[in-house]
Amino acid sequence: MSAETELREQICLLAKSMFDRGLTGGSTGNISARTDDGGLLVSPTGTSFGRLDPGRLSRFDAKGNLIGGDQPTKEMPLHSAFYDTRHSAGAVVHLHSCHAVAWSMMPDADADDFLPHLTPYAIMKLGKVKLLPFFMPGDPAMGEAVRGLAGKRSAVMLANHGPVVAGKDVEAACNAIEELEETAKLAIILRGVRALGLSDEDVRNVVTRFDVEWDD
């Protein structure tokens, strides 16, 4: 089995796993990953994470030309923005996960540090998550907003829409976006309760111990 064939199957396997567990529904969400030749494999537009076909993934060459498969997701500007500004990015995932979207609607959500510091794991996998304002689906301005972060964030939350996360590879990106959703779920469950989250010192220790990108 070639490396690209293996990557195609991994993308579809991970996407189906997230779909089956209710992390994104219907034909929502999109996923992409770098190929060994510098190109991209991307989920096609209008497709379900539960039914992706490895042979029909959109295939781009290293110059950004579509050379095979179906037409790509309309959210390509989001994916391109992460790849262009974060050279460590090997994959990008975007979901419409319920609890993250719900937390983005809370009036007290911190736009610069979207997730409350409840456990160390979101900090370790995501660093700070930037909350971006609402954009119409498919609006290229979403990509421009990500570019405006100059590669300083691996994850953003699109208000009233869903999270977008870049990782070193497709497995890392999927693990990180799942941690984002789980932390948002905890935040929703604990809303209105005087829960004891991590202290500032705890956060600093996690950032130092696990060499997390963390801009103060």
Q: Which of 75, 178, 179, 181 is catalytic?
A: 75
**What CATH number has the domain bearing residue 133?**
3.40.225.10
75 is catalytic: yes
- Dump strand ranges (E) for 75-210: 91-94, 130-132, 155-158, 162-167
Instruction: Quote the pTM value.
Output: 0.96
Of residues 46, 53, 50, the one with CA closest to residue 75: 46
Q: Which of 4, 121, 171, 213 is catalytic?
A: 121
Asked whether residue 152 is assigned to any structural domain, the reply reads yes
Asked whether residue 189 is assigned to any structural domain, the reply reads yes
213 is catalytic: no
Taking phi over 0 as left and psi of -120 to 50 as alpha, with beta for the rest, 27 belongs to: alpha
Asked whether residue 216 is assigned to any structural domain, the reply reads no
Instruction: pLDDT tens for the chain, 216 residues: list them.
Output: 799 999 999 999 999 999 999 999 999 999 999 999 999 999 999 999 999 999 999 999 999 999 999 999 999 999 999 999 999 999 999 999 999 999 999 999 999 999 999 999 999 999 999 999 999 998 999 999 999 999 999 999 999 999 999 999 999 999 999 999 999 999 999 999 999 999 999 999 999 999 999 986
Structural domain span for residue 26: 3-209
Asked whether residue 215 is assigned to any structural domain, the reply reads no
Asked whether residue 156 is assigned to any structural domain, the reply reads yes
Asked whether residue 19 is assigned to any structural domain, the reply reads yes
pLDDT at 28: 97
pLDDT digits 0-9 by tens, 170-179:
999 999 999 9
The partner residues of 91 in beta bridges, in order of sequence, read 33, 167
Per the structure, how many domains does the chain have? 1
Asked whether residue 23 is assigned to any structural domain, the reply reads yes
Asked whether residue 126 is assigned to any structural domain, the reply reads yes
